[in-house]
């Protein structure tokens, strides 16, 4: 799908983890505790490889690869991102994010959150941030059949925001930080901004961004 930079942002699509808020350190430590609970000591490299993906899925794959079979229910009984990450009182939106959202809303843009994390946790955090009222749509992990890097999550968000506008991607800008997320947004046809991502993710995006405070269009 051909992509050009929109003259104005009609649809602003934001990944949550790492973009809206810096949850990655909380995820790394949660995953480390849970993997240890099941008898496996992960390396930092293994834990960092989960970034941008569903860590509850990747952790079980890692356990299975090391001969430890854990059911989904057994894993979720220990791994509780809703309370331990999105309910963490120390979690805050990244600097400048709230002001950017208010500016986008004032300019008539619609905002969606597009994440590989459970929707309940996203709602919980956004509500606590006082930002839930700014959001027009949320696409969480359980709302799609294919996760990032597949384009389905971003396409689903555009479907909700654009209400049948077949050309919605031409007015869409996505903000993501992982290689999987950038690939998903690009494949969905959105102009893609890599926020503080690794070099490979920045190279795959249309542009990169280090600071929401100084962001301008």
Write the pLDDT tens digit of every residue in 146-183: 999 999 999 999 999 998 676 778 899 999 999 999 99
What pTM was estimated for this model as a whole? 0.88
pLDDT digits (tens, 9 = 90+) for 185-196: 999 999 999 999
Q: What is the DSSP letter of 132?
A: G
Q: Report the pLDDT value the prediction gives residue 3, as an integer from 0 to 100.
A: 81
Task: Using the structure block, give the residue that is written with the tokens 């004032």.
Answer: 106
Q: What is the pLDDT of residues 49-107, one digit of tens each?
A: 887 777 888 999 999 999 999 998 999 899 888 888 999 999 999 999 999 999 999 99
CA gap 33, 26 in Å, rounded? 11
pLDDT value of position 2 = 67
* pLDDT exceeds cutoff 60 at 1: no
What is the rounded average pLDDT of the residues 32-56? 91
Do 192 and 186 form a contact (C-beta atoms < 8 A)?
A: yes
* Residue boundaries of the structural domains of the chain: 11-22+93-209, 24-86
Residues 43 and 205: beta-carbon distance below 8 Å = no
Tokens standing for residue 120: 């309940």
Q: For the ranges 98-107, 123-132, 167-176, 207-216, which has the lowest average pLDDT?
A: 167-176
Confidence band, pLDDT 50/70/90 cuts, at residue 115: very high
Which CATH code fits 11-22+93-209? 3.40.50.1000
Burial class (CB in 10 A: 0-12, 13-18, 19+), 82: middle
């Amino acid at each position: 799908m051909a992509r050009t930079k929109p003259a104005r942002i009609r649809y602003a699509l934001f990944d949550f983890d790492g973009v809206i808020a810096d949850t990655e350190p909380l995820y790394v430590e949660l995953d480390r505790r849970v993997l240890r609970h099941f008898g496996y000591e992960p390396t930092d490299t293994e834990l960092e490889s989960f970034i941008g993906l569903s860590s509850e899925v990747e952790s079980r794959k890692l356990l299975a690869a090391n001969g430890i079979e854990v059911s989904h229910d057994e894993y979720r009984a220990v791994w509780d991102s809703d309370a331990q990450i999105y309910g963490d009182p120390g979690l805050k939106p990244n600097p400048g994010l709230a002001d950017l959202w208010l500016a986008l809303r004032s300019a008539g843009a619609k905002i969606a959150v597009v994440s590989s994390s459970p929707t309940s946790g996203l709602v919980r955090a956004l509500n606590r941030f006082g930002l839930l009222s700014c959001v027009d749509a949320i696409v969480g992990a359980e709302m799609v059949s294919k996760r990032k890097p597949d384009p389905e999550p971003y396409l689903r968000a555009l479907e909700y925001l654009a209400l049948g506008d077949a050309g919605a991607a031409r007015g869409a800008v996505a903000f993501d930080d992982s290689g999987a997320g950038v690939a998903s947004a690009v494949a969905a046809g959105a102009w893609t901004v890599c926020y503080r991502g690794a070099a490979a993710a920045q190279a795959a995006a249309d542009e990169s961004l280090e600071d929401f405070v100084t962001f301008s269009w």
